[in-house]
Amino acid sequence: MRKHRSSLGTLLHHVHVSGPLSRAALAERMGVNRSTILALTAELVAAGLVTEEHPAGTTGAGRPSLVVRPSPDVFVLAFDVAVDHLTAARVGLGGAVLDRRSARRTRTGVDLDTVVRKLACLGRELLDAAPAGSICAGVGASYCGMIRPGDGMVRYGPEMGWVDQAFGAELAKTLDIGRPVAVGNEAHLGALAEFERGAGVGVPNLIYLHGDVGVGGGILVGGRLLGGDGGYGCEVGHMLVNPADGRPCLCGSRGCLEAETGEHALLAAAGRLHGQIGADAVRAVARDALAGDPAAAAAVAEIGDWLGIGVANLINLFNPGVVIFGGMLRDVYTAAAPHVAARIARHAMPVSRERTRLTVSALAADTTLLGAADLGFAALLNDPVQEFKAARTTP
Amino acid sequence: MRKHRSSLGTLLHHVHVSGPLSRAALAERMGVNRSTILALTAELVAAGLVTEEHPAGTTGAGRPSLVVRPSPDVFVLAFDVAVDHLTAARVGLGGAVLDRRSARRTRTGVDLDTVVRKLACLGRELLDAAPAGSICAGVGASYCGMIRPGDGMVRYGPEMGWVDQAFGAELAKTLDIGRPVAVGNEAHLGALAEFERGAGVGVPNLIYLHGDVGVGGGILVGGRLLGGDGGYGCEVGHMLVNPADGRPCLCGSRGCLEAETGEHALLAAAGRLHGQIGADAVRAVARDALAGDPAAAAAVAEIGDWLGIGVANLINLFNPGVVIFGGMLRDVYTAAAPHVAARIARHAMPVSRERTRLTVSALAADTTLLGAADLGFAALLNDPVQEFKAARTTP
């Protein structure tokens, strides 16, 4: 029974991540015969989770393998709580963002109630705009802080000044659609999203570094997220890299990786602290550096230097197959790559770095949002038929 | 078949790690009924791998559960190649060191042939001294450098100046007892040994730091050794902690954790570089610091400070249940604990460190040797009956 449930989930996971697949391709990927695929697909079709159709362009001649497609009527609500913005999206089975709403937010002093009410409002708008007959199969949220697994409690969210705030439970209550909200740290979810459908597909030892004003990390070891004892691993941003004269960090320490490579450090180094801030300002520094602006280039060199030290340390510790730069670090890395590479050459062991590839996020601005969506889909993919039956009967 | 083989291995693993266990205790630990234990034990008794006996102190009354004991006739050869010494031991099933031979060695410029010949010589002595009828079931070796999994190639052994030396293959050839030699990095094996029978039993997220002139690391994530892409993860010693004015490191960089906390740094800080070196010298500084010697205390404070920064970084990254200090770091940590704790309090996130315990190795000087022994036992524990049959028929 459990094995069958798991096979259904595996098949659905394949079409969720890869899009439409022929029965033959599914049989090959899952290592089962075509009659098994036929039976599993039939059950998922009956449940309303996938459809089957003849491949495009085929005529009646021969018997082409039917193509299994994720149902267009199944979606999750995905929320992304970043330092500068709140996003809510309807993401379909298959991973497409079907609809989205965003709101800017102020950086500090925002209380739980305000954030939760705003998110719930965006979520409601999306549900109201969803086509008749479509089904919300789950809810996932990405948050820029340390999250307790299981109940989505924000243990520590320095940018918002949150300590032990019951974010997941409160959002579920306020959203009030009869479904729990699964919450994860933004960089953790970003790592999983890049592993599933981004720049790290098939790379089980993967490091994802996410710039969102500060710097977060998601690290996969042997294909699994490094959780640690309580689920609080991967706090890359608070690795001390500059003990001698480090910049102050929001965490209370000085010289943390995020203090030396985050948005504030870059804008300060470029002499642009008094102008525009945020992702656009970071992008502008990176662009100007590449265009030859001396102050911007010096800032990128300085930040790239610290970033390279951090990445070299991670390479020594994790011997990763790939290091992926996402969020604001996508722009920073694009401009600072030579400085990062120089530090890695100097401080990472040759054996540790010999096969490590460095690249930028393939999912761009949607990495954490798609990670949140996958978290929302997790229960469905674990037990498709039962979960979907439950989703259909909630209001 | 495979499942049966694996149950035999699991049972043997239990008595190997925990010593004699009653059938009832085995049934409980393995979650199977007593008739299954009876059948498995009978097969292992017939193979000569365990014995069964009445528990001590029981009389004829009642039917006490028989006690299953590892056979005293089964052993492995374990080798430990550390910076200052070579050790070979006969380690019995059950984990007891039955016999050992050691040789000091010079630190630098020792070639592969010399080391291999010396080890093979020690190994031969042990085999010649083994009781008649006892069986060598495998060979494992611990090495102070980066090891390629699979063939025991030393990719990098800075203290000996080795690059890409076929250590495992050459030792097997020279030892010439018809068995391969499984090789692992000393700190990796130390971590596994402390997890199996030391200070980290039952703690799946474990960090072991090993001082052997330099500093090595073995990190368990979810109960498994962090290997990374090529098996070269856990290079804790080359984490850059002091980029401003770091001491030179053997790896060619400066300011690595091992350059700041290794034997040389401690003796230099204590003004004792021109006296005795090695583990005894490190122990003397630690002892003198605890006794109030100002120069020794200042040295321990300085080294403890850097060690604390390194451990804080590891706690942020791994959210471990325990951090274990072994080898020379056992003495260093014992003296430097307050300095380490102060740095952790300052640089590790409260949520990341809230449940992390710091302690010293429970296996003391034998941590890496027992890890090597376990590596030697691995094939036997994977497929006890077939492997032992093969071992019996080799010369």
Nearest beta carbon to residue A317 from set B233, B243, B312: B233
Continuous H helices in chain B: 2-18, 23-30, 34-47, 112-129, 167-175, 186-197, 257-261, 263-269, 279-291, 294-318, 328-347, 350-353, 367-382, 384-393
- State the burial class of residue A32 (Cβ atoms within 10 Å of its Cβ: 0-12, 13-18, 19+): middle
With contact defined as beta carbons under 8 Å apart, do A136 and A177 qualify?
A: yes
Closest partner residue to A239 (CB to CB) among B243, B256, B317 is: B317
Task: State the Cα–Cα distance between residues B130 and B114, nearest whole angstrom.
Answer: 25
pLDDT mean for each 10 residues of chain B (395 residues): 83 96 96 94 96 77 83 97 94 97 81 95 97 96 96 92 96 96 98 98 97 96 97 98 95 96 97 92 98 98 98 98 98 98 98 97 96 98 94 79
Residue B234, SS3 per DSSP: coil
Kindly state the average pLDDT of the residues A100-129.
91
**Interface contact flag, B349 A238, Cβ < 8 Å:** yes
CA distance, residue A357 to nearest chain B CA (Å):
11
Question: Above 70 in pLDDT, residue A61?
Answer: no
Best residue of B352, B356, B358 to probe chain A, by most A CBs closer than 10 Å: B352
What residue has token string 């120069």?
A: B295
Q: Give the total residue count for chain A.
A: 395
Radius of gyration of chain A (CA): 22
DSSP H helical ranges for A214-364: 257-261, 263-269, 279-290, 294-318, 328-347, 350-353
**At residue A63, what are phi and psi to the nearest 5 degrees?**
-130, 80
State the amino acid at position A226 in one-letter form.
L
Q: From the CB of residue A323, how many other CB atoms can be counted at a distance below 10 Å?
A: 24
Name the minimum distance, in Å, from the CA of A130 to any CA of chain B: 39
- The whole-angstrom separation of Cα A83 and Cα B233 is 33
d(CA B241, CA A264): 23
Partner-chain contact A244 B243, CB within 8 Å: yes
Say if the Cβ atoms of A318 and B251 lie within 8 Å.
no
pLDDT at A107 over 80: no
How many angstroms separate the CA atoms of B254 and B241, rounded?
9
How far, CA to CA in Å, does A65 sit from each of A10, A40, A59, A70, A273? 19, 15, 12, 16, 59
Q: In which residue are the tokens 């368990």 written?
A: B220
For the segment A338-353, the average pLDDT, to the nearest whole number, is: 98
> Apex CA B49: angle with CA B47 and CA B54, to 5°?
105
Partner-chain residue, chosen from A222, A240, A312, that has the shortest CB–CB distance to B312: A240
Q: How close, in Å, is residue B239 to chain A by CA atoms?
A: 5
Q: Which 3 state secondary structure label does DSSP give B226? A: coil
Q: Which of B241, B309, B318 sits opposite A228 (nearest CB)?
A: B318
B393 min Cα distance to partner chain A (Å)? 37
- Is residue A240 a contact partner of residue A356, using CB atoms and an 8 Å limit? no
3-state DSSP call for residue A159? helix
B101: enclosing H helix or E strand: strand B97-104
Give A354 to chain B, closest Cα distance, Å: 9
Q: Which residues of A touch B309 (CB under 8 A)?
A: 240, 243
Alpha-carbon distance of A164 to A166, in angstroms, equals 6
Residue numbers in A near B348 (CB within 8 A): 238
Q: Point out the residue among B230, B352, B355 whose CB comes nearest to the CB of A355.
A: B230
Please compute, for residue A264, the number of CA atoms within 13 A of its CA located in the half-sphere on the CB side.
16
**Pairing mode of beta strands B206-212, B224-225:** unpaired
A363 CB neighbour count, 10 Å cutoff: 20
B320·A224 Cβ contact <8 A: no
Please name which of B338, B367, B76 lies closest in space to residue B206, comparing C-alpha atoms.
Answer: B367
Q: Which domains does chain A have, with CATH numbers?
A: 2-70 (1.10.10.10), 74-188+368-393 (3.30.420.40), 201-362 (3.30.420.40)
Measured between alpha carbons, how far is A236 from A324 in angstroms, rounded to an integer?
A: 13
The answer to whether residues B141 and B184 touch, using CB atoms and an 8 Å cutoff, is: yes
pLDDT at position B251: 93
- Token representation of residue B286: 């630690």
CB atoms B230 and A354 under 8 Å: yes
pLDDT at A132 over 90: yes
Mutation target among A209, A229, A256, A305 for the B interface, most CBs of B within 10 A: A229
Give the Cα separation of A371 and A190 in Å (integer). 5
- Distance CA(B70)–CA(B51), nearest Å, equals 6
Residue A346 and residue B253: Cβ atoms within 8 Å?
yes
Residue A69 amino acid letter: R
Radius of gyration of chain B measured on its C-alpha atoms? 22
Cβ-based burial of B249 (10 A; exposed 0-12, middle 13-18, buried ≥19): buried
**C-alpha B245: how far from chain center:** 33
The minimal CB distance from B239 to the residues A222, A313, A320 is found for A313
Is B240 close to A241, i.e. CB distance below 8 A?
yes
Give how far Cα B393 sits from Cα of B312, B377, B387, Å.
51, 17, 10
* CB-based contacts of B96, cutoff 8 Å, min separation 6: none
Q: What angle do CA A374, A143, A282 make, to 5 degrees?
A: 105
CA distance B365 to chain A (A): 25
What chain A residue is nearest to B216 in terms of C-alpha separation? Answer: A317
- pLDDT at position A193 is 98
**A316 with B239: Cβ contact below 8 A:** yes
Q: How far is the C-alpha of B145 from the C-alpha of B15, rounded, in Å?
A: 31
CA distances to B233, B344, B353, B356, B384 from B316, rounded to whole Å, are: 17, 10, 8, 11, 40
Residue of A nearest to B318 (CA): A233
**What's the gap in Å between the CA of A213 and the closest CA on chain B?**
18
Three-state DSSP class for B170? Answer: helix
- The alpha helices in A70-185, defined as continuous H runs, are 112-129, 167-175
**HSE toward the beta carbon, residue B332, CA cutoff 13 A:** 39
Instruction: Give B245's contacts in chain A (Cβ within 8 Å).
Output: 244
H/E run at residue A3: helix A2-18
Indicate the Cα dihedral angle A275, A276, A282, A286, nearest 10°.
-60
Are B295 and B271 spatial neighbours (Cβ–Cβ below 8 Å)? yes
Between CA B115 and CA B126 the distance in angstroms is 17
pLDDT computed for residue A4 by the predictor: 80
Determine the Cα–Cα distance for residues B359 and B361; give it in Å rounded to an integer: 7
Rounded-to-10 torsion of CA A188, A193, A199, A203: 70
Amino acid in the structure at residue A292: G
CB B168 within 8 A of CB B141: yes
